[in-house]
Amino acid sequence: MGNDAARLDTMLRRLSATFKIRDLGTPGFFLGIETLTVNGRFLLSHKRYMGDILNRAGMIDCKPLATPAAVSQVVSPSSQSYENPTQYRRIVGALQYLTITHPDLSYAVNQLCQFMHFPTDEHCALVKRVLWYVKGTLDYGLPIGLAVPIDRKSTSRYAVFLGNNLISWLSRKQRTVGRRQLRLNTRH
């Protein structure tokens, strides 16, 4: 995929010199991810896969929600085990794969994964909330741009840690282009 046919051709020739490859054409559906073209850009979509997850969980007709997790809800330890831990693990595992095209689910799914060994009824309720969010985001996907504009601006970045914990970070392009002056040797 790309907007420079000559570069793509060169890359394919170089790859085929080392690996046995064949061109399968424009990507369509692979490993549960569908490639769509929307407004001249590619969109990686898990819409079918999301429908399958909702169907497996018996929530195909559930109501949608706007957020995958409640900010103020804290999971408390409970001794009441969920009646079907295998189903919990399957659904959470499927949600984890979904984070490829839905990074907005990463935090909530990570929280659910921490209880795979002993899921409780409360954890199952949190899974349902994530599934309600999935229902509301069926048309979301991961947009892939065809080209990155080159402007010669440098990127400044930093990360601040407190112990092993990241507490702040920043990454942004500088406002101006840096110029490097070369000094020529003028001695004869």
78 is a domain residue: yes
| CA 83 to chain CA mean position, Å | 31
Q: How many independent structural domains does the chain possess?
A: 1
Nearest to 101 by CA among 54, 57, 50: 50
CA–CA separation, 107 and 123 (whole Å): 14
The contacts of residue 7 (CB under 8 Å, 6+ apart) are none
3 is a domain residue: no
125 is a domain residue: yes
CA–CA separation, 47 and 59 (whole Å): 15
pLDDT in tens, 33-74: 898 888 877 888 999 999 999 999 999 999 998 888 876 666
CA–CA separation, 95 and 113 (whole Å): 10
| CA 61 to chain CA mean position, Å | 25
82 is a domain residue: yes
pLDDT in tens, 3-33: 678 888 898 889 899 889 887 777 788 888 8
CA–CA separation, 44 and 35 (whole Å): 5
55 is a domain residue: yes
Q: Is there a contact between 44 and 33 (Cβ–Cβ < 8 Å)? A: yes
Is 142 in a helix, a strand, or coil? strand
37 is a domain residue: no
Range of the domain at 122: 44-136
Please state the φ and ψ torsions of residue 160, each to the nearest 5 degrees: -115, 125
Could you tell me the pLDDT band of residue 142, with boundaries at 50, 70 and 90?
confident
Please state the φ and ψ torsions of residue 2, each to the nearest 5 degrees: 170, 175
Please state the φ and ψ torsions of residue 149, each to the nearest 5 degrees: -65, 140
pLDDT in tens, 79-128: 678 888 899 999 999 999 999 899 999 999 998 998 888 888 888 889 99
pLDDT at residue 25, as a whole number: 75
pLDDT over threshold 90, residue 131: yes
16 is a domain residue: no
Is pTM beyond 0.95? Reply is no
124 is a domain residue: yes
Token digits for 167?
Answer: 């507490």
| CA 25 to chain CA mean position, Å | 24
